Amino acid sequence: MNLYVAAYRLLLPRRYRRYLERSGGNEDMVRETLRYGTFFEEYRLYGFAGKSDAERREYLTDAVRNRICRRINSRKGQLTVEDKWLCYNTFKDFYKRDAVLLGNPGDAEQIVHRSPFPASQMVAKPVDGCGGRGVRLLQAGNADELRRQLESLLSEHPRWIVEQCIVQADAMARWNTDTVNTVRMNTILRDGHITHYTPFILVGRKGSFVNNGAQGGLFASIDAASGKIITDAFDEAGNRFERHPDSDVPFRDEQIPQWSDLLKITDEMAHRLPDVTYIGWDMALTPDGWVCVEANKGEFVAQQTTLGRGLRREFETIVGLHHGVSPQNNELTSMKYLIVGLGNIGAEYDGTRHNSGFMVLDRLLKACTREGGEKPTYVLDRHAYRAEVKLKGRTLVLIRPTTYMNLSGKAVQYWLQKEKIGIENLLVIVDDIALPVGKIRMKKQGSHGGHNGLANIEELLHSPNYCRLRIGVGNNFGQGHQIDYVLGRFSDEEQTLLDPALDRAVEAVKAFATLGPDRAMNMYN
């Protein structure tokens, strides 16, 4: 291998050899590129020097993402995403601005004489460009100057899209006024259902017209459900920023405005290309609402850098690759979900309101039969009774914690790590006094609401961003008697309402694993 590494170094373009020298690149970096197509920048940003081969394979490098997208996206649909002119014509009503194609000197002349467009400033982009490379801001002082700039563009690249400039809303301009700051909203369309996956904000630096990370911009991850920024910002040099270095505006916990509108708009756009499973949308907020800047292939540098973990396993799961490639041996691995029923162990707690999570889990277990007719059963394991069932190609790991309610997080944390399951595939089933008996509600995230079991889970996972299925137990108790109430049993009248609710809860769990949380919430909330 050393001979191949040496030969590869000699064949590298000069700029990559210089990059290797500047970054202290070694044989391991070159070997990673040779074997897996990992870019040098990815090796550095993801800290591959300190990671094992198995840990590295958990990351979605550009090479891996491209292979996956070739499997899940149609070639025609992918071309629409990658060609900026095709994309503009497909989604023109979402762009809400004028644009023209520059492909020859005749086009340049038409642009010069077009009315009312062009404006005094325009943006020009190579139609097949990416990463913010080649983007130009045209200053059209007069017709002759504009004609000169357009003809100069054609000498650099054969096809450009020339657009009106976007005027961004003040709420997004506060980080940096020199660029249009955007949100990258990644959509995954599967079985008619949209998942908004790992969105992030892109913000430029003072004096720069382009906000892309490859051009020095900053990026921070956003919670898909709430629209709040959940990390500090980073740049592609690996620097971390709690506040924008030019404006001093913070990132973490800041709310992106009009978030529900953005989710709805990108839903509509994704459904317009039903043969493309995964798309990254760059969206800008104007005084008149959200507009599309462009669509793209949706790289994962920003998300994996800010979140500090690889996203390959969960991405493969969400896009429907039921059998993802194992990083160790390329064998097939199934999608896994951790389903946790909360409660207290011991006969004295059986049937109590606080054990509603156990009740749902027990019904789910009875409803599932292994191949050959064998009924799955619980086995006492570390911190929990554990069972495993198969459902439409998914593996559901069911646990009843033995830690008692107030230390439930200990079991959840252990089994997520043990089974290598991402938090997005976690569902916690819990009793809720805020819901009447007979009602159930699924939520993708939220506060613990004073529930000790959820509070401990949130504390140990360092996040409230996991799904929970709430089972209504009512609140028919006097002041100071809540503990006695939740540790009491349902009345006969309440039981008649509870039984069908538990059956619906079982179906909601199945829908969570097979259809995703959004579809499950629409069906059972």
Which residues are known to be catalytic?
354
What stretch of H or E contains 27? helix 27-36
Structural contact between residues 520 and 442, judged by C-beta atoms closer than 8 angstroms = yes
256: alpha, beta or left? (left if phi > 0; alpha if psi -120 to 50):
beta
3-state class of 485 per DSSP?
Answer: helix
User: Would you state the structure tokens that stand for residue 412, as one six-digit string?
Assistant: 């959840």
CA 91/CA 272 separation, integer angstroms: 8
CA 132/CA 301 separation, integer angstroms: 14
Strands (E), 14-109: 99-102
3-state class of 504 per DSSP?
Answer: helix
Nearest in space to 81 (alpha carbons), one of 246, 296, 346, 396:
296
| Cβ-proximal residues to 493 (8 Å cutoff; 6+ apart), any chain | none
Strands (E), 433-525: 440-443, 467-472
Q: 278-286 and 379-381 as β-strands: parallel, antiparallel, unpaired?
A: unpaired
Structural contact between residues 401 and 340, judged by C-beta atoms closer than 8 angstroms = yes
The residue behind tokens 């991405």 is: 315
Strands (E), 329-460: 332-341, 379-381, 384-391, 394-401, 426-432, 440-443
CA 324/CA 320 separation, integer angstroms: 9
CA 336/CA 74 separation, integer angstroms: 27
3-state class of 97 per DSSP?
Answer: coil
Structural contact between residues 40 and 21, judged by C-beta atoms closer than 8 angstroms = no
User: Would you state the structure tokens that stand for residue 523, as one six-digit string?
Assistant: 């069906």
CA 246/CA 248 separation, integer angstroms: 6
CA 78/CA 86 separation, integer angstroms: 11
